[in-house]
Amino acid sequence: MIEFLKRLFGQQGSSATAKERLRLVLMTDHLELAPEMIEAMKRDLVELISRYVEVDRERIEVNFERQDRTLAMLANIPILGVNRPNGNGAVTHEAPKPQPEPVATVAAPPSDSKPPVRKRKRRKKSQRARTQLPSTA
Amino acid sequence: MPESDEAKRGRAIVVTSGKGGVGKTTTTANLGTALARRGARVALIDADVGLRNLDIVLGLESRVRHHLLDVLEERSSLDDALVADKHTDGLFLLAAAQAREKDDVETTKMQALVSSLRERFDYVLIDSPAGIELGFKNAVAGASEAIVVCTPEVAAVRDVDRVVGLLGNRFRPQLIINRLRPQLVRKGKMLSVDDVNGILRLPLLGVIADEPEIIVTTNRGEPLALRTQNTTGAAYHAIAARVAGEDVAAPVPPESKASILERIGSLFGGLRR
């Protein structure tokens, strides 16, 4: 029905498809052309997350993936250990435990994406559910 | 406009696009014609070595005796190689070598040539080859400004985006959108001017319609800019005026409103999109 209305008001031609494809392809092009930006982002990401948990800096992976009509950043950051908060909320560093690494997957929608559609919200929830912290050994 | 020392030198503008077949050569020929008809002295350089075309579009193919590489390699003087246009006073062509390769051009020599042409001409328009390799780099080498030509297609816009990234700010690239079909835009079947430039965000010199007459004029070797009564011919003149710094509006092909019948037609034709 919405499609029908869009057609009625002349909003949805193949030019809309072209525009959408162009937007996505340029985002990936620009990322591809800025490897140093991705490296810097990785560094910042590790720095941020390391404030809370101990991560395996060598094995961090950042990928970009097309999902429906958006580009998503998927960061795979193996967690080695969780710093235990002390009384005042500050963290104390523990030695990394040589345990099989659980993995935190973070999906970040691109900043200029449209307001998330319902379908997207659901995915984000399921992703959050998958985000596991290491069980105390 | 350039200041002080630069003031007396002409402007060297490269016409480029990344993607092939978007109309760089046609644009160069028509813009050159329009600029010369405003009274400027204009030199056109065909930098597409190995695929000489600009002479054909101008109808000068039988007059070319020497070419760009003859001049760069000092087998011919610049004056002997410059071909005077047969339709427009003050317009000259330096043709590309047909039997050579783009890599044969020495970048520093190209720079020196453009520099010497700028002493004698108000405008030096350099028709760049497609691609972003050495041929493109040589075409850009002597230029100080750039005009990018883009058609309303995903691939063309993507390539222009890449080329603009390579050019950087130094060339202050300006945009000509070529081969727009207003009817298709209206029906939502072609990217619009706003769609294209919403992404590229470049100063817009003008928009040229996909005009059947271009084929006819190219067949004859007479640029459409010779006909000012033709809407597209007039659009080239408006673009030339804007290049010259005149405060005229960017030409955009007329786009009449869709009729009710067309709306209903597109409603039923929707499945074919």
Q: What is the pLDDT of residues A75-107, one digit of tens each?
A: 898 999 886 666 666 655 554 444 444 555 555
Please tell me the predicted confidence (pLDDT) of residue A94: 52
Please tell me the predicted confidence (pLDDT) of residue B252: 96
pTM above 0.90, yes or no: no
Q: Are A29 and B158 within 8 A, CB to CB? A: yes
| β-strands B11-16, A91-92 pairing | unpaired
At residue A12 the predicted structure's pLDDT band, cuts being 50, 70 and 90, is low
| Best to test chain B binding among A15, A25, A32, A37 (most B CBs inside 10 Å) | A15
Give me the mean pLDDT over the B31-44 stretch: 98
To which H or E segment does residue A54 belong?
strand A53-55
CA A118 and chain centroid, separation? 18
Q: Quick one: CA torsion of B259, B265, B269, B273, rounded to 10 degrees?
A: 0
Which has more pLDDT, B81 or A4?
B81
Average pLDDT, chain A: 70
Q: Are A76 and A105 within 8 A, CB to CB? A: yes
Stretch 15-74 of chain B: residues touching chain A, C-beta under 8 Å: none
Q: Which domains does chain B have, with CATH numbers?
A: 4-272 (3.40.50.300)
Give me the mean pLDDT over the B234-253 stretch: 97
Please tell me the predicted confidence (pLDDT) of residue B254: 85
Please tell me the predicted confidence (pLDDT) of residue A19: 94
Which has more pLDDT, A63 or B237?
B237
Do A26 and B191 make contact, defined as CB atoms within 8 angstroms?
A: no
| A36 Cβ contact list (under 8 Å, min separation 6) | none
Looking at the complex, does the CB of residue B153 fall below 8 Å from at least one CB of chain A? yes
Please tell me the predicted confidence (pLDDT) of residue B244: 98
Please tell me the predicted confidence (pLDDT) of residue A5: 53
Shortest Cα–Cα distance, A30 to chain B (Å): 9
Please tell me the predicted confidence (pLDDT) of residue A115: 44
Please tell me the predicted confidence (pLDDT) of residue A121: 38
Quick check: B228 pLDDT over 50?
A: yes
Task: Report the distance separating Cα A75 and Cα A65, nearest Å.
Answer: 11
Whether the predicted interface score ipTM is above 0.85: no
| Best to test chain B binding among A11, A14, A25, A28 (most B CBs inside 10 Å) | A14
Average pLDDT, chain B: 92
Please tell me the predicted confidence (pLDDT) of residue B231: 95
Which has more pLDDT, B115 or A71?
B115
Residue A39, classed as helix, strand or coil, is helix
Please tell me the predicted confidence (pLDDT) of residue B1: 45
